[in-house]
Amino acid sequence: MSRTGSGFHHANRPAQHGFRARRHARKYPGGHQHAIDPTMPLESSTLPDAQAVEDHVIQAFEAISAETCRLLSTSRKEWTTCIKNKLAALGSTLNFSVNAHGCKDAHEGEWLYDMTWSVLDASKYGNLMRQPLALESEWQPDAIMDNDFHKLVQARAEVRVWVFTAANKVDVDSYVERCRELACGFAGSLAGDRYVLVGYEWEHRSASIHTFQLG
């Protein structure tokens, strides 16, 4: 399936066989600064599952597509901030604990990745119960394969989001295929691992969303 408009093309790829903080005060996404209602049913059906998280993320990128494509011509900081603020606000709205640096809707600073969404158990010292999302973004990634994507491949998040730039659409598509190959080749990958890759291309200041799930 493809989605066009607002600067985005969404390539939703079916599963294929074989594809199958820097806040130093704490070391995990719990801690005491994020007040969690201990009566909140963290494992209730009201919290989105992995498919719903993926759908929400895609919709969020589509909503900011025009602005983020425009910001490619201005500033790396503004481009990154726009993406992170949108995703932080979304995670908070979905009742997840959000870790990210410099986002008003984040509950804590950056933890391991540029952004994570977590579900914490307040009755057990804020123990980590789920990690619905891990996100990394890179304005000028390594042209072959960036180390930050390696970080995502070994993450145990339900949805891994990689935001990157490339020279043109051909290079974006090639980068996506290399990411698929890397995820497939990693011994720790599991069936059902989900990826959302958002590739911005400099030539036409446009972007495309690519999704795949390991089988």
pLDDT grade for 91, boundaries at 50, 70 and 90 = very high
CA-to-CA distance for 149 and 166, rounded, in angstroms? 14
Q: Which residues of 111-145 are buried (b: 16+ CB within 10 A; e: fewer)?
A: bbbbbbbbbbbbeeebebebbbbbbbbbeebeeee
Terminal-residue alpha carbon distance, the chain: 18
| Mean pLDDT across 65-73 | 94
In the chain, what are the domain boundaries? 50-213
Distance CA 51, CA 124 (A): 27
Does the pLDDT at position 190 exceed 90?
yes
The confidence score (pLDDT) of residue 139 equals 82
The pair phi, psi for residue 128, each rounded to 5°, is -75, 125
SS3 at position 84: helix
Query: In which residue are the tokens 């394969």 written?
Result: 145
Residue 173 scores a pLDDT above 80? yes
pLDDT given at position 34: 40
Q: Is the pTM of this model over 0.75?
A: yes
Q: Enter the DSSP assignment of 198.
A: E
Q: Are 166 and 175 in contact (CB under 8 A)?
A: yes
Asked if residue 182 has pLDDT above 90, the reply is yes
Q: Within its chain, how far is the Cα of 203 from the centroid?
A: 24
Nearest to 201 by CA among 159, 169, 170: 169
Token pair belonging to 53: 């998280």
Cβ-proximal residues to 163 (8 Å cutoff; 6+ apart), any chain: 83, 135, 136, 137, 138, 197, 198, 200
C-beta neighbour count of 212 within 10 angstroms: 24
Band (pLDDT 50/70/90 cuts) for residue 148 is confident
Q: What is the pLDDT of residue 10?
A: 65
Percentage of the chain surpassing pLDDT 90? 59
Q: What is the pLDDT of residue 12?
A: 55
Question: Which residue spans within the chain are E strands per DSSP?
Answer: 8-12, 97-100, 115-121, 127-138, 159-166, 194-201, 206-213
**Average pLDDT of the chain?**
81
Give whole-number Cα distances, 196 to 19, 53, 75, 125, 210, in Å. Answer: 14, 11, 23, 31, 6
Alpha carbons 135 and 80: distance in angstroms, whole number = 12
Query: Is residue 206 scored above 70 in pLDDT?
Result: yes
